Amino acid sequence: MGTLYRTRAQLRDIGALAAASMAVGASFGAIAVAYGLPAWVPVVMSVLIFAGGAQFLAVGLLAAGNPIAAVLAGLLLNARHLPFGLAVADTIGSRWRDRLVGSHLMTDEAVAFALAESGPAARRRVYWLVGVSLFAAWNIGVVLGVLLGGATGDPAALGLDAAFPAGLIALILPSLRDRETRLVALTGAALAVLLTPVLPAGLPVMAALLGLLVLFRPSARRRPATPTPTAPGSPAVAAPAPVPGAPAEPSHTPAHADLAEGERC
């Protein structure tokens, strides 16, 4: 019953994320057309790049006439996929086809859902389920947005821009029970917030990786353990075994006691 309940809850969460992805994708398609880009540009970009937030940034920079900045900004925003790929390399599969398609479907949500599972088989199943669901939902939404034009508006007006961060926070909360993980996450978040007014868009997220440096801090030195004195009334410690070939220690029993013992016998 527990496994069935978890599976239903998992499918419900994936469905909610897919619905949000479709809505935001529709907004992206509508905004791209409103910026004056050809209708095929957001569609091809979503199929070949599938980068979510980086696509919004790239479209804005393309509309401003700066394609080089669009490429660089996309690379910076998606640099987080490098550690993600290392974390789910075994989950995606060993065949080159699985790695090629799986890396293209890699999203924050797919990685988070997969790492939340304990077994390798469950991780692979969830990763591909989330990846395929979000890819299909996003591209369907983009096509709908292009067809509907500007009718969908800005996702921030409906609060859809907060759907993905809220989902990710809910997924990583169990991992924050570990003290080291919590310290790394809080340090990285603090760095990103402090550097946001200073650095260009995309760099604060990468600067958050500096939170991993707290794992290399010098650990507290352990003090050598001191022998605990034997309390009165506690059992005596057994004497060490005699070493072969060593002279026998003289008996502390008085001679008259041995003589009296012999007389009694």
- The answer on pLDDT for 128 being more than 70 is yes
- Tell me, what's the pLDDT at 170? 62
Tens digits of residue pLDDT in 152-166: 555 556 555 555 566
- Tell me, what's the pLDDT at 237? 47
> Quick check: is 158 in a domain?
no
Cα distances (angstroms) measured from residue 10 to each of 87, 125, 217: 21, 12, 37
Percentage of residues of the chain with pLDDT beyond 90? 8
- Tell me, what's the pLDDT at 68? 79
- The answer on pLDDT for 223 being more than 50 is no
Cβ pair 195, 205 in contact under 8 A: no
Cβ pair 157, 42 in contact under 8 A: no
Number of domains in the chain: 1
Q: Which domain holds residue 116?
A: 2-150
What number of CA atoms fall less than 13 Å from residue 219's CA on the CB side?
6
Phi, psi of 56 (to 5 degrees): -60, -45
> Quick check: is 169 in a domain?
no
- The answer on pLDDT for 253 being more than 90 is no
- The answer on pLDDT for 264 being more than 50 is no
Tens digits of residue pLDDT in 171-200: 566 667 778 888 888 888 888 889 888 876
> Quick check: is 232 in a domain?
no
> Quick check: is 202 in a domain?
no
In terms of DSSP H, where are the helices of 149-162? 155-158
- Tell me, what's the pLDDT at 57? 76
With residue 90 as reference, give the H or E element that holds it: helix 89-92
> Quick check: is 235 in a domain?
no
Tens digits of residue pLDDT in 60-92: 777 777 777 778 777 877 777 788 888 888 888
Residue 159 to residue 166: CA distance in whole angstroms:
11
Mean pLDDT of 22-47: 86
- Tell me, what's the pLDDT at 160? 52
Question: Rounded to the nearest 5 degrees, what angle is found at the Cα of 144, between the Cα atoms of 63 and 201?
Answer: 35
Residue partners of 149: CB distance under 8 A and separation at least 6? 30, 33, 34
What number of CA atoms fall less than 13 Å from residue 113's CA on the CB side?
28
- The answer on pLDDT for 263 being more than 50 is no
Single-letter amino acid, residue 166: A
- The answer on pLDDT for 5 being more than 80 is no
Residue 113 to residue 129: CA distance in whole angstroms:
10
